[in-house]
Amino acid sequence: MTRGLELTGAQIRAARALLKWTAEDTAGHAKISRKTVERLEQTDGLPVTRELTLDSLRRAFETAGIEFVGAPEEGPGVRLWKAP
């Protein structure tokens, strides 16, 4: 499992899609702003932001059943391991 700053924009988009969360839903679960969610998703590769922000996002997704797999340089991905 990847950690902290290794969460990519593509993984954020994919996790949100698997959960069928809006940007607003995601922001609420992670306790960050909707604009931050949208900005991070638009990043190709690793977003530039505070580690705390990505950790909050990761925790929200993992609590909902998302598992982050792979490293950025080897094709990162996500999978849903329990139904939301």
Which tens digit of pLDDT belongs to each residue from 21-58?
999 999 999 999 999 999 999 998 888 899 999 999 99
pLDDT at 83: 62
Q: Which domains does the chain have, with CATH numbers?
A: 4-73 (1.10.260.40)
Give SS3 for 27: helix
Kindly tell me the number of DSSP H helices and DSSP E strands found in the chain.
4, 2
Average pLDDT over residues 49-74: 91
Q: 49 near 12, Cβ under 8 Å?
A: no
Kindly tell me if the per-residue pLDDT of 67 is higher than 90. Answer: yes
pLDDT at 84: 56
User: In terms of C-beta density within 10 A (0-12 exposed, 13-18 middle, 19 or more buried), how is residue 15 classed?
Assistant: buried
Return d(Cα 82, Cα 52) in angstroms, integer: 25
Distances from the Cα of 23 to the Cα of 1, 38, 69, 74, angstroms: 24, 7, 22, 27
